[in-house]
Amino acid sequence: ELFKQMGFFDEHGHIHPEILASLKTIPQGAATTVWCATSPLLNNIGGVYCEDGDIAELDLGNFGADNGLGTRGVQPYSLDESNAKRLWDLSREMTGISFEDI
C-alpha cells in the first residue's frame, strides 16, 4: 500500500515500468559496497555515505528526480551529530549492548 501511495505501483500492485527500468541489477547494487570495501580513496576516511561508486553528495534539495526515485545524496539530518548520539544511545538502551565510544 505504501508503494502504491508513493506512486511506485499501480492500483493492482504492479510496479510501473518506468520505476522498474530505473532499478539497479544485483551487480549494480553491489558495486558501491565493493567499491567502499576496496577503494584506496577511502583510506583513512570514515563516516561517509556512499552511492553509485563514490562518496555521496549532500542533498540540499537541489537534486531532481532523475534517478527514478526522486532522491539522491545524503540528507543533512543524517550527518547531524546530535541525531547520531541519540540513535547510538537508543540502540544501546533497546539492545542492552554497550560498546566503548570510538
Q: Residue 99's pLDDT is what?
A: 76
Helix (H, G, I), strand (E, B) or coil at 100: coil
* All cell numbers assigned to 37: 570495501
The answer to whether 48 and 55 have CB atoms below 8 angstroms apart is: yes
What tens digit of pLDDT does each residue of 6-41 get? 888 998 989 999 988 888 999 999 999 999 999 999
Q: Residue 42's pLDDT is what?
A: 95
What tens digit of pLDDT does each residue of 41-87 get? 999 988 899 999 999 998 887 655 554 455 678 888 888 999 989 99
Q: Residue 26's pLDDT is what?
A: 94
